[in-house]
Chains A and B, each alone.
Chain A
Amino acid sequence: MKLSTLAMAIGAVVLTSGLAYAQENTFNIWWFEDAASAQGITWTKALEEFKASNPDVTVNFEQKTFAQLQASGSMILNSDQAPDVLEYNKGNATAGLVASQGLLQSLDDAYTGQGWDKILNEGQLTLSRYDDLGVYGSGSIWGISTYGEYVSAFYNIDMFEKAGLKVPTTLEELTAAFEAFKAAGITPLALGGADTSGQHVLASLAYTKADDTWVQNYQGLKAPLDTAPYLFAAQTMIDWVAKGYVSKDSTGIKDPDAALQFTSGQAPIYISGTWNLGNFSSSIKDFKWGQFLVPTPKYSVGSTGNLWVVPKASKNAELAQQWISLLLSPKYQTEQANNGGVSIAADPATVTNPVGQNAAAVFKEIADKQGLGFYPDWPVPGFYDVLIQKVAGLLQGTLTPDQFAGELKQTYDDAQANQ
């Protein structure tokens, strides 16, 4: 009796709170970048300007989580709850999937209409285009990225200076630097062998032996896997372990712990993506640090960032395009670089933050030579976990480089044959 009145009272509260919104002329915008990241800071500032220039519109921003959009992104986009514009994870399994399901609005007209074609080049659109099957690289434009990301070696400048070392520009110089640190009793490379950075090191090394044909075939799932680059990469990695450039227990280490070895000043080098820039900028206080690219002839592990997409259910597509234009404007591209982000279209001369200046310049360099090699797990669904597992096996010594390359080839060729 008492219980049932309580239940009804609670039910009433729930119903009213659920019906709280339903306003005219609102603009709903979501993103899931961390509020403290370069993107988060920049977008928050841009949103203030956006609100000010659209005083008659109620702008509702929600900070989403990557986990939520990963788990239920297509369900949300397929409902009335979809926002007017949102950040969405790039790639076939995510943006490609919802594009092929018809849940997004094409941005083909806006691309020329809004003048984005004068800011972006075709190479930066590779991940914006998805075909009818949701495969990137061709088809209509479904999303626009306003930043980039790439894998590079973070290095401790103080430790390099103390050891009298220069920034390596070839693989031999990198190995020589490792040797010099090793001789001084320092384990040079922090490696998350059980995590993403392990496969990024592997791919960076593979790209030292990769040409245009190999990368295009590999990412496009166009031919059975030519294992030569992976064989070289695997051999190099176990050499590094054998020579003590990498600590023996790296196999079980996750990225946050490997990054910790770098930020705490134990290891002078950590190879990972530019998403670390924000964390390193704010948490490294007692030494100078910088970035250099793993020396490769052309390709680096990297890509354009996540996409801004406009859901089919968006009632304010024009405002959504206006938002994307704002983020691509020189003002916010520069702002983003000044916050330590990797801007796509910033003029390095106008950027004052050395971290962002360097990142924008390096990304421009890679993009201009069409050297974005993307990530090694992209071509095959579920390849991410396979790579994590096999790299761990390689570092533990349960797989020889030949077995390692053979097992990757098997998974890859199965997917290639059955696509």
Chain B
Amino acid sequence: MADTTLTSVAAVPHAVHDYRRHGTGRWFVLALLSFLLLLVLFPFFLALSNSVKSSVDYAMNGPLSLPTALDFSALVKFWNLADFSRKLLNSAIISLAVAVVGVTISLLNAYAIGIGKVRGSRVILVVLLLGIMVPQESIIYPLYYMAKATGLYDTQLAVIIIFAVIQSAFGTYLLSSVLSSFPREIIEAAEMDGANRWQILWQVVVPVLRPSLMVVGTFFFIWTWNEFLIPLVMLVSNNNQTVSVAMGLTRGQNMSDPTLQAAASLLGMAPTLIFFLIFQRTLTRGVVVGAVK
């Protein structure tokens, strides 16, 4: 279903533009895009070139010069200092759990709101969206006291629960708008065949919705991976901490170590980058999910 809309959307530009007639415009667009691409790639370049530079080299030649010799000591140092393999595992566990739990909650909510036609569904959606608009700083103390009261302070479970709930607000919004345009005929046909609501959800809705669920899950994974404040506050022990919290190691009270910082940025963004490359197609489909409505 989603695939058919995809191809029809993709086919539109070819019909409208005839590229051969707009030669100069085409070059202009290419130049502009190349320029933007350079802007986007520049920070990556800085992180890469400075992370393989020795601190002496940096002190003499500054951040913009190319490294005089390859020196991986900053990368090794940060990896060991932060116990980075452990942090990767922690971030992966937390992000994956949030993605799975968050998508499940979103799906159940959206099924009720989008297909079940709950009364006041619009109000419910607005209230849920308010949840993600509240700055995290303002809810950090209540979260801290709740986590302490339940004995979850300094556990990854606390972070998983918090983010699964916060992010499912957005997931509910997105999925229920997709589900509200879900073809009624399919559901009616399933009902005719004697399927109950549970069976309709798992055997009819979920298979059709799978691409959208993947998109939402991918977003949740990346967002959770990049979260900083709540993991910083909730995860006290080094063994529980995430990648983004570990990156704080490179900034001291008065000093920062630029090559170490570059190494940390490079190592910190590499997993999301790899994840993005793997799920690139799912994410592009995500843009279309919004457009279908």
Contact = CB atoms under 8 A, between A and B. Distances in A.
Nearest to A264: B60
A223 interface: no
Contacts of A284: 59
Contact of B101 (A7, A263, A273): A7
Interface stretch (B9-17, B149-157, B170-178, B182-190): B149-157
B134 interface: no
B237 interface: yes
Contacts of B256: 256
Contacts of B148: 79
Interface in B49-82: 55-56, 58-63, 81
A66 interface: yes
Interface of B: 55-56, 58-63, 81, 93-94, 96-97, 100-101, 103-104, 144, 148, 153-157, 160, 202, 229, 232-233, 236-240, 245, 248-249, 251-258
Given A10-B97, A32-B252, 17 more contacts: A3-B100, A7-B97, A14-B94, A15-B157, A17-B239, A18-B240, A34-B255, A36-B257, A63-B249, A65-B249, A66-B251, A72-B233, A256-B258, A276-B255, A279-B55, A283-B56, A283-B58
Interface in A301-339: 306
B232 A71 contact: yes
Contacts of A283: 55-56, 58-59
26 contacts: A1-B202, A7-B97, A7-B100, A7-B101, A10-B93, A18-B155, A21-B237, A35-B81, A37-B252, A62-B238, A63-B249, A64-B238, A65-B245, A65-B249, A67-B248, A72-B236, A79-B148, A81-B153, A81-B236, A256-B258, A265-B60, A278-B255, A279-B59, A279-B255, A283-B56, A284-B59
A242 interface: no
Contacts of B100: 3, 6-7, 10
A81 B237 contact: yes
A18 B238 CA distance: 11
A47 interface: no
Contacts of B55: 279, 282-283
A34 B93 contact: no
Contacts of B63: 260
B155 A264 contact: no
A47 B60 CA distance: 35
B60 A65 contact: no
A53 interface: no
Most chain A CB within a 10 A radius of its CB, from B97, B154, B245, B253: B253
A52 interface: no
A7 B58 contact: no
A204 B134 CA distance: 43
Contacts of B104: 3-4, 7
- List 6 tightest A-B contacts by C-beta distance, closest first: A263-B59, A65-B248, A18-B155, A283-B59, A275-B254, A67-B248
Interface string A55-81: 000000011111110011001100111
Contact of B253 (A68, A89, A282): A89
A32 B253 contact: yes
A196 B252 CA distance: 14
Interface string A1-37: 1011011001101110110110000000000111111
A285 B153 CA distance: 47
A260 B62 contact: yes
Given A13-B93, A68-B248, A260-B59, A79 B253 contact: no
Contacts of B144: 72, 75
Given A33-B252, A79-B148, A283-B58, A14 B156 contact: yes
A59 to B, nearest CB: 15
Interface string A244-283: 0000000000001000100111000000010110110011
Nearest to A197: B254
